Structure 1
Amino acid sequence: MIPVDFLPKAKKLKLISLFSGCGGMDLGFRGDFNVMGKRYERNPYDILFSNDIVQKACDTYSYNFDHEAYCCDIKELDYSLLPKADVVIGGFPCQDFSLAGKRKGLSTDRGKLYIEMKKVIEYIKPMAFVAENVDGIRRSKAGDDTSALDIILDDFRNLGYNVVYKVLNAADYGVPQNRIRVIIVGIKADLHKFMKYPKPTNGNDCDNPWITSREAIDDLWDMIDKTTIKNHTSKDYSKAKFYPGKHTQGNCRIKADKPSPTIRSEHHGNIEGHYRTTNPNVPDDMTGWRRLSVRECARLQTFPDNFEFPVSSSDAYKQIGNAVPPVLAWHIARALYISLYM
């Protein structure tokens, strides 16, 4: 693993983004944003083309970037629209590999969408690619002793790439959230290079501890309808009820002094409650609980406050939950650049 504080001086890389969603991975690769008082410098990537199937996700993407996302089913994508590029990135759909889902894996059309990313890579022939997915992809069986991940890695290798993967926890990179993901990276075999993953910046083995939920969102607690920060109004948090004594999804609060649990797209109205309550003397009294707002979820995912979600709160929750945390993507982007040029 390598530190990513300084980048070698080399050319900017042209980038194509697939399964772009609202743009979490793209923002990290681009850089040039501030989160929790820290500056994440501009990275040497130019995003030339982005694609997603969900129109509202494309709307959010286009609102926040200098170019519009191209909205269509990737299986119907006209490759003549694709520019030449050095890097292809994408978080192909993960629901069929998730431990929290039905775990149908490669048996569904959605589970096989990585093939569409493979086709684009075969067509573009980039120097490198980055693919992201849930950790459940390692456990999703595709045969007696074969996982879905094994098949996916072999398929990418057969295109002529040195392909490796690593399981990263976003909390280890300054994200106030435990979010464990598989990061697959391929570099053209004839370059004779392999991905060197970024060195963790936070956690037990680092000088800096994990960033807690309190550090990320505490200033927003009593600012509903009182701040110019977008997506933090009375319309931007779920009013779904809490049910005493039931252990169901979202029927709990995040912890103040730890990173939050994974923000998932399936949460919708059942996003967890804030750690604060209007009745601190009776912690189990749910009458004073409030669910996390869209902006609080965005903070926990490390979207900067000037990244807006011009959609309903329900759609915004989904988009945030589907995204790669920009700060994690920023570290991956810089590590890839170092791997290519050092």
Structure 2
Amino acid sequence: MKSYFHKETNTINTFEVEVPEETKKLNVVSLFSGVGGMDLGFRGNFDFLGTHYSEQPFNLIFSNDIFKQAADVYEINFGHKVERRSIDDIDVGELPNEEVDIVLGGFPCQTFSYSGKRGGLSDPRGQLYLQMIRIIEHYRPKMFVAENVDGIRNSKKDNKGNAVDVSALDTILKAFDVAGYNVQYRVLNAADYGVPQSRRRVIILGIRKDLGDQEDVFYPKVLFDQTGLETKRKWLSAKEGIDDLWEKINDPTVLNHTQRDYSKAKFYPGKKMQGNNRISADRPAPTIRAEHHGNIEAHYRTTLKDENNMDGWRRLSVRETARLQSFPDDFNFACSASSAYKMIGNAVPPVMSWHVARSVFYTLNKLGITSK
């Protein structure tokens, strides 16, 4: 089978990529948008932990998701409507009648996740990449960006649930190839880009075959590493990400950080259960998962009073989990804490997405096709 993974993939320091003022914005269609983590990275113009992530040369013209609460929050923060019908039910004739340059899609990942039931392509959610391809074939964008969990590389079930030798990722990449795109993937860790969370995700980039080859596509260069020896910048720790929020519960200047904005779910001494522990202060937080719901982990500053009284542990607040996912502090999760935890856990970290977006622009600009 054709290889879509290249050890010598081109990389670019995205902080060094300049966007000329006269650059025409590229139109973007966003599928499976969720609360908009990937979209925020493509929009840009936000601040996170003292760094400004500048405006991107992209214009979001359409967004879609069936998670009502996430769509509500998206609309509050982005200021435009989300199409809430299932992508299966949307006829291409109902889509915006405009030229589209980029299609984004973090198609559902639960069926491929190591922490899920691993139904793979046999789960209807595992087939939704085909809907993304349907939209891509309609618009014929210059490039597309798809995102999913690392477990997609090792999910080996066909659409009937039978074990096969080919991974779900290979099957999906081949389908994008047949649709007319030169594709490749890399596994990116959000911690490598200044996010105080260890979160490995498969990022698939495809470029239309008449515009470029696999080797023309650039990915963002790693900017942080575990020890700091390679990049001169060490991974950000959870403490660096959220410690300033510790004493600000109920502070009216901090969004989503009141006593109503953290789970009161019980802890169980000595049991190994999802979320039944504290995060560590001195390293990136573990992956924030959508399945946490009320069982989000506890803050590293909390301590147990004794084995029978767990009130000493406070679970992470919505704002703290949003910080660990690199959402800016002015991004308002105006919903219940349980819904907020879910949409934050489902999101692409905006800071990582910003770097991916910049590398997409660099790819197209280098080829001289940013405005063709």
CA distance in 1, matches of 2:83, 2:109: 21
Tell me by how many angstroms 1:286 deviates.
3.9
The one-letter code matched in structure 1 to 2:189 is N
Contact 2:19 2:57 in 1 (8 A): no
Is the aligned partner of 1:197 residue 2:219? Answer: yes
Equivalent residue of 1:110, what SS? Answer: helix
Q: TM-score under structure 1 normalisation? A: 0.96
Tell me by how many angstroms 1:229 deviates.
1.2
The count of corresponding residues between Structure 1 and Structure 2 is 341
The residue aligned with 2:175 is 155
Q: TM-score under structure 2 normalisation? A: 0.89
The residue aligned with 2:3 is none
CA distance in 2, matches of 1:39, 1:283: 44
The residue aligned with 2:107 is 92
CA distance in 1, matches of 2:326, 2:186: 21
Tell me by how many angstroms 1:308 deviates.
0.5
CA distance in 1, matches of 2:74, 2:265: 27
Per-residue CA distance 1:51-106 (angstroms, 9 max, x = gap) = 00111111010000021111111100132232331000010000000000000000
Equivalent residue of 2:111, what SS? Answer: coil
Map 1:157-236; keep pairs closer than 5 Å. Answer: 157-193=177-213, 194-203=216-225, 204=227, 205-236=230-261
> Of 14, 17, 29, which aligns to 1:16?
29
Per-residue CA distance 1:106-149 (angstroms, 9 max, x = gap) = 00111101110010000111000000000000000035320000
CA distance in 1, matches of 2:197, 2:320: 12
> Of 240, 252, 263, which aligns to 2:288?
263
CA distance in 1, matches of 2:81, 2:235: 35
Tell me by how many angstroms 1:202 deviates.
0.8
Equivalent residue of 2:52, what SS? Answer: strand
Is the aligned partner of 1:292 residue 2:307? Answer: no
Give unmatched runs, 5+ long, in structure 2: 1-10, 158-162, 367-372
The residue aligned with 1:253 is 278
Give unmatched runs, 5+ long, in structure 1: none
Is the aligned partner of 1:337 residue 2:361? Answer: yes
CA distance in 2, matches of 1:252, 1:213: 15
The residue aligned with 2:119 is 104
Tell me by how many angstroms 1:283 deviates.
11
Tell me by how many angstroms 1:7 deviates.
2.9
Contact 1:7 1:334 in 2 (8 A): no
Per-residue CA distance 1:177-234 (angstroms, 9 max, x = gap) = 0000000010011112432110011114211110110011111112111242111000
CA distance in 1, matches of 2:174, 2:307: 51
The one-letter code matched in structure 1 to 2:186 is K
Is the aligned partner of 1:54 residue 2:67? Answer: yes
The residue aligned with 1:308 is 332
The residue aligned with 2:40 is 27
Per-residue CA distance 1:218-261 (angstroms, 9 max, x = gap) = 11112111242111000000001111111111010000010000
Cα distance 1:221–1:284, how it changes in 2: closer, same or farther (>3 A)?
Answer: farther
> Of 129, 134, 137, which aligns to 1:114?
129
> Of 31, 41, 45, which aligns to 2:58?
45
Is the aligned partner of 1:67 residue 2:80? Answer: yes
Is the aligned partner of 1:274 residue 2:299? Answer: yes
The one-letter code matched in structure 2 to 1:201 is L
CA distance in 2, matches of 1:286, 1:227: 27
CA distance in 2, matches of 1:320, 1:42: 22
The residue aligned with 1:2 is 12
Per-residue CA distance 1:13-43 (angstroms, 9 max, x = gap) = 1000000000000000100000111100000
Contact 1:88 1:126 in 2 (8 A): yes
Is the aligned partner of 1:80 residue 2:93? Answer: yes
Tell me by how many angstroms 1:278 deviates.
5.0
Cα RMSD over matched residues?
1.6
Tell me by how many angstroms 1:287 deviates.
3.5
> Of 149, 152, 155, which aligns to 1:137?
152
The one-letter code matched in structure 2 to 1:234 is Q
Cα distance 1:72–1:163, how it changes in 2: closer, same or farther (>3 A)?
Answer: same
Per-residue CA distance 1:1-21 (angstroms, 9 max, x = gap) = 111122353431100000000
* Percent identical: 57
Equivalent residue of 2:166, what SS? Answer: coil
CA distance in 2, matches of 1:79, 1:8: 32
Equivalent residue of 2:75, what SS? Answer: helix
Tell me by how many angstroms 1:284 deviates.
11
CA distance in 1, matches of 2:26, 2:178: 24
